[in-house]
Amino acid sequence: MSHYDFIVIGAGVIGASVAHHLAALGAQSVLVIERGTIGAGTTSQSSGLLRTHYSVRQNVELARSSWWAFNNFAEYVGDDEASCGLVKCGYLICAPEGDKLDPLRASLAAQQDMDIEVQLLDKVEAHERLPIANFDDAALIGFEPEAGFADAYLVATGFARSARRRGVKMRNVISRRQRPEVAFDAPSARSARLVVAPAAPEDWPWFRIAGTRRCRGSQQSRCPEGILCCHATRCVPVQP
């Protein structure tokens, strides 16, 4: 039975990124398990939107911090041939008179206070940028020229290749029924320092671990088995 200090469930864009960064930070024993192919789950449905416009300042800061990685993706993952498929088409957002106007004005002002380039457009300028849209009732129009989108599949595979080069092991657990109930044995999972499950909620059934039970609701962060079984990137240490 193999021992891993870190186990990542799902090789989508988040799982592959987690694996890459664990290895880049010096983790020596990392396993990624995936039921299909890299990026074939919800990552394949992602629009890959990249922007810094958020109503929560912390999200703005996180988004801005990630820009260097996308602007310099090949250097970031250490692969001259890697690409994230970045396209800077800009991000345009508007609001009419009403309850959405003040929140938008506050968000745009917060971006400008953080030295993020945001332009305020009039209706004519907005229509020139997006001719198919009607801005007749727009009371405020903001435009972030550096925003755009990336190719989520290229990002996921780029991180996955980097993770492999750094020693991360990737295990495919496809079964004939396409819904394997046992992803890896429980003793191996319990001996890990951390199990990260960024897989989407609809994928939870396939990574049930032998001899364990999934937690629900408020019990997610207090799993008696020490196994993380929740969505997004909440990381819970495995109990000794």
**Could you tell me if 53 and 39 lie in one domain?**
no
Q: Treating both helix axes as pointing N-terminal to C-terminal, what angle do 152-165 and 13-24 enclose, rounded to 10 degrees?
A: 30
Assigned domain for 1 exists: no
Q: Is the pLDDT of residue 220 over 80?
A: no
Assigned domain for 128 exists: yes
**Could you tell me if 144 and 165 lie in one domain?**
no
**Could you tell me if 21 and 55 lie in one domain?**
no
Assigned domain for 54 exists: yes
Q: How far is CA 209 from CA 9, 113, 195, in A?
A: 11, 48, 11
Assigned domain for 127 exists: yes
Q: What's the structural domain count of the chain? A: 2
Assigned domain for 216 exists: yes
User: Which of 104, 122, 149 corresponds to the end of one domain?
Assistant: 149
Assigned domain for 175 exists: yes
Q: Is the pLDDT of residue 217 over 90?
A: no
Closest to 155 (Cα-Cα) out of 21, 35, 52, 22: 21
**Percent of the chain whose predicted confidence (pLDDT) is above 70:** 73
Q: Is the pLDDT of residue 181 over 70?
A: no
The alpha carbon dihedral of 34, 36, 42, 45 has a sign of positive
- Condensed to tens digits (0 to 9), the pLDDT of residues 183-193 reads 444 445 556 77
Which domain does 108 fall in, by range? 49-149
Assigned domain for 136 exists: yes
Assigned domain for 181 exists: yes
For the full predicted model, state whether its pTM sits above 0.75.
yes
